[in-house]
Amino acid sequence: MADLLERAGLAATRALSVFGLMALLALALMTLADGTLRWLVNRPITGVRDVGALVIALVVSCCLPVSLMERSNITIRVLPSLLGERAGVLFDALAACAVAAVMVLLSWQFTTYAGNIARAGETTWILKIPTAPFWYGVAALLWCAVVLQGIVVVLEFARLFGRVSRRAPSGH
């Protein structure tokens, strides 16, 4: 069951990160076109900066869940050699809980921020695009990351109690 849960989480988060990277590619092409038109005919594309600021926030939040699910955060593995493998597994599980707590706080703050700018009626500077929907999207993606980090917590504690073995690192 844990293996199935992990594989489903990885597949979903990788698809989400591909979507985010496609959005980043679209932004890069838009920026390239804007610079080229600016250079060739002195006619930039209006609003590229407006859209860029919003797209970058979504791109980053699309790629965060896969990083959590793959456990690709920076890890220093000193404790297993000092205190034994079991202590290392325990601290991995506790670290997963700490990451989950940080993600909950981050998600809550982004949700609050989105609500504040929605009430203020904030828009982009040039195109007057309402910004709140983008920030609600970021908050929703962060809440998805919270759920996925919850899965990581469950998997790490299952490993601690011998229910699953250590997941092999992904190769990409």
What would the pLDDT profile of 22-74 be if each residue is shown by its tens digit? 999 999 999 999 999 999 999 988 889 889 989 999 999 999 999 999 888 77
Q: How confident is the model at residue 6 (pLDDT cuts 50, 70, 90)?
A: confident
| HSE toward the beta carbon, residue 85, CA cutoff 13 A | 6
Give the residue numbers spanning the domain of 146: 2-160
Indicate if the pLDDT at residue 2 is higher than 90.
no
What's the number of domains the chain is made of?
A: 1
* Percentage of the chain lying above the pLDDT 70 cut: 92
- The model's pTM: 0.84
Average pLDDT over residues 158-168: 70
In a domain, 166, yes or no: no
In a domain, 81, yes or no: yes
